[in-house]
Amino acid sequence: MEKTANQRLYFDFGEVFQNTKSFIDRHNSRQTQLPQKLNANHRATAELIIRLYLKQLNKAAQLDQLDPENLPGFNTYNESLAKCKGCTKRTIINHRERLVNAGFIRKEQHCGQGGVEIWINPEVMGTVKLSTSYGDNVIKIGQLASLFLDKAKNFHPLVHEQHEQKNNNSKVDNVDNVIKGVPYGHESGKATGTSHEQDKNTEENANPASKRQEKAPEKLCEAEKQEQKPGAGRIFLLSLIRQFWAYARKVLYPDLVLSEPEEREILNLIWESVYGKLHWQASEKDWLNYQETAYNRVNMVARWLARSPGHWIPKPHIYFHPNNERNGFKKTWQWYVRQETLKIGIRNQLLLQQVKAEWQQHKQDKGRFQQKTRLQLFRIQQKRLANYRDESLMRAYQQCLQRCLHLEKLKCKQANHA
Amino acid sequence: MLSEQMQREALSKCIVWFYDGNVRTFYSLDKTHKRAKPNQALGIRRLEKMLMETFKGQWETAIIYENKANGNELARFKRGARV
């Protein structure tokens, strides 16, 4: 299946449901013994899984390019599915087992506290359609930056969707091996990552091996492995985090005195909340661009603080906490997007004004393009505006041009009538 | 007062010199709940809160150390302020 820059995967619910139905019917027709057939209850579980999975995939497809041949798995929890379906956990486990035997579920991966990841049979997923929806301004502002939106990486939970809550443990689109944690002493050349994730509630590592990792971090060479992968080196990325914290501390918390463990904790929080756990495999240039946006956000906060004595920000361990939705640093992303959108809007208006003025001058045989033909002027302007790589600007330019020409025609007609 | 076991398990301790001449040692409580992973930063923040709120105006010097033999100094407070 081909994909273009603006074409994104879209899974049609109706089609996949039809595929599900025909798959189960076909399976049942092949089975002779009742215990091996899938009854209406199993069918309902399969449809529930499909519904939640498609919802997540379509949302993911809008935000990121998905490979149709290598779709991410469906990360879920037995408890949550059971709650959705109104049955017990055991029933869901039994149904899943039956679906695996039937070949509906291709593969299962148990992730302990992280739930279970399920890969559905590609036959059921069927063909994929392409939609041509444009991304929002966030994506226009920066591909990398858009990742750190809530919606970008940690997708809303499939199974908690009906409660309107967030599942921070969702792993869809995060299937790559990622290294987590900011090793504190990497400056001394011992860059080591803790390849585990902190539990949101307990701040405890789900992975029992984490204790071993903490005791002997020098034995790990995760950072070195990461460096062999394409994209920015881990040490480089960690230095970005340190630089960001140094800058934020200087600007926002100039009088703060912190001990080593406290600073380490804050770095980990920044790694998680500001840098999205370094999940994105981007080039160094992209990361540097993102770093600039992060600095801009810090500057915005500093300006906001200076504007009124009533403005305040909490202590860094609260301010940079990934779960702080109320007064955390995360919120500044919205400020930044708004500011950049406004900037782009104003820039486009100025460019269009300039274009208009050039056309008017050209009509009056004035200005620097007076020697050019209309086509040449059009080409020059088109080339100039194309440099901005903004489709909305080009569309506005075309409209502006049509309006100019239309007005010109009207004037000609009026002159003829007169 | 923490139990002896909790004192042993604490990651940091705070020695406080009071104005009345007393010297006391406090141990950090580093867990959010019984089975949580110990968080030293949390323990330090709690000790700081104790100094700044519970014993406000009663101490002259307080020093937080790692709770182990020859543990490093982590934070130092003088007359109500962190230095």
Check B64 against A260: CB less than 8 A apart: no
pLDDT higher than threshold 60 for residue A201: no
Q: Which band of pLDDT confidence, cut at 50, 70 and 90, is reported for residue A37?
A: confident
Q: How many Cα atoms occupy the beta-carbon half-sphere of A290 within 13 Å?
A: 25
Same domain, A197 and A305: yes
Least CA distance to A259: which residue of chain B?
B74
How do residues A237-295 score in pLDDT, each as one tens digit? Answer: 999 999 999 999 999 999 999 999 999 999 999 999 999 888 888 888 999 999 999 99
Domain boundaries defined on chain B: 4-75
A177 vs A8, more confident: A8
Same domain, A17 and A64: yes
Q: What integer pLDDT is reported at residue A365 of this predicted model?
A: 86
Q: Is A175 inside a domain boundary? A: no
Domain boundary pick from A327, A346, A373 = A327
A226 vs B4, more confident: B4
pLDDT higher than threshold 50 for residue A129: no
The lowest-confidence range among A57-66, A350-359, A383-392 is A57-66
pLDDT higher than threshold 90 for residue A405: no
Give the residue among A342, A228, A252, A235 at the shortest CA–CA distance from A303: A252
For residue A252, give its domain range. 186-327
Establish if A255 touches chain B: CB-CB under 8 angstroms.
no
Establish if A259 touches chain B: CB-CB under 8 angstroms.
yes
Q: ∠ CA(B19), CA(B25), CA(B26), 5° rounding?
A: 110
Q: What is the mean pLDDT of residues A98-122?
A: 87
pLDDT higher than threshold 50 for residue A195: no
CB nearest to A205's CB, from B37, B40, B75: B37
A287 vs A232, more confident: A287
- Residue A83 host element (H or E): helix A78-85
Check A257 against B75: CB less than 8 A apart: yes
Residue with tokens 């239309």: A406
pLDDT higher than threshold 60 for residue B30: yes
Interface of B with A (CB under 8 A): 11-12, 32-33, 35-37, 39-41, 44-45, 64, 74-75, 82-83
CA–CA separation, A236 and A147 (whole Å): 19
Q: What integer pLDDT is reported at residue A223 of this predicted model?
A: 39
Q: Which two tokens stand for residue A177?
A: 């091996």
Q: What integer pLDDT is reported at residue A320 of this predicted model?
A: 95
pLDDT higher than threshold 80 for residue A145: no
pLDDT higher than threshold 60 for residue A140: no
Report the percent of chain A where pLDDT is more than 70: 73
| C-alpha A219 chain-centroid distance | 33
Establish if A261 touches chain B: CB-CB under 8 angstroms.
yes
Q: What mean pLDDT value characterizes chain A?
A: 77
Same domain, A190 and A323: yes
Check A317 against B39: CB less than 8 A apart: no
Q: What is the mean pLDDT of residues A326-343?
A: 91
Q: What integer pLDDT is reported at residue A230 of this predicted model?
A: 53
Using an 8 Å CB-CB cutoff, list chain A residues near B32. Answer: 202-203
Q: Which band of pLDDT confidence, cut at 50, 70 and 90, is reported for residue A4?
A: very low
Q: Are A352 and A400 in contact (CB under 8 A)?
A: yes
Same domain, A348 and A296: no
Check B64 against A259: CB less than 8 A apart: yes
Q: Is A169 inside a domain boundary? A: no
Q: Are A51 and A74 in contact (CB under 8 A)?
A: no
Same domain, A27 and A148: yes
Domain boundary pick from A327, A359, A385 = A327
Give the residue among A140, A138, A143, A147 at the shortest CA–CA distance from A275: A147
Q: What integer pLDDT is reported at residue A27 of this predicted model?
A: 87
Question: From the CB of residue A19, how many other CB atoms can be counted at a distance below 10 Å?
Answer: 19
Q: Is A172 inside a domain boundary? A: no
Same domain, A203 and A285: yes
Mind telling me how many Å the CA of A65 is from chain B's nearest CA?
37
Mind telling me how many Å the CA of A253 is from chain B's nearest CA?
14
Same domain, A199 and A108: no
Residues 6+ apart with CB under 8 A from A316: A248, A249, A252, A253, A256, A266, A269
Q: What integer pLDDT is reported at residue A167 of this predicted model?
A: 56
Q: Is A1 inside a domain boundary? A: no
Q: What integer pLDDT is reported at residue A144 of this predicted model?
A: 58
Domain boundary pick from A327, A354, A376 = A327
Mind telling me how many Å the CA of B75 is from chain A's nearest CA?
6
Q: What integer pLDDT is reported at residue A182 of this predicted model?
A: 59
Q: What is the mean pLDDT of residues A141-148?
A: 56
Q: How many domains does chain A have?
A: 3
Q: What is the mean pLDDT of residues A299-319?
A: 94
Least CA distance to A267: which residue of chain B?
B41
**Beta-ladder partners of A117:** A75, A109
The lowest-confidence range among A90-94, A176-180, A248-252, B37-41 is A176-180
CB nearest to A203's CB, from B12, B36, B75: B36
Instruction: Locate the DSSP E strands across A128-223.
Output: 129-131
Check B36 against A202: CB less than 8 A apart: yes
CA–CA separation, A49 and A224 (whole Å): 38
Q: Is A370 inside a domain boundary? A: yes
Q: What integer pLDDT is reported at residue A391 of this predicted model?
A: 85
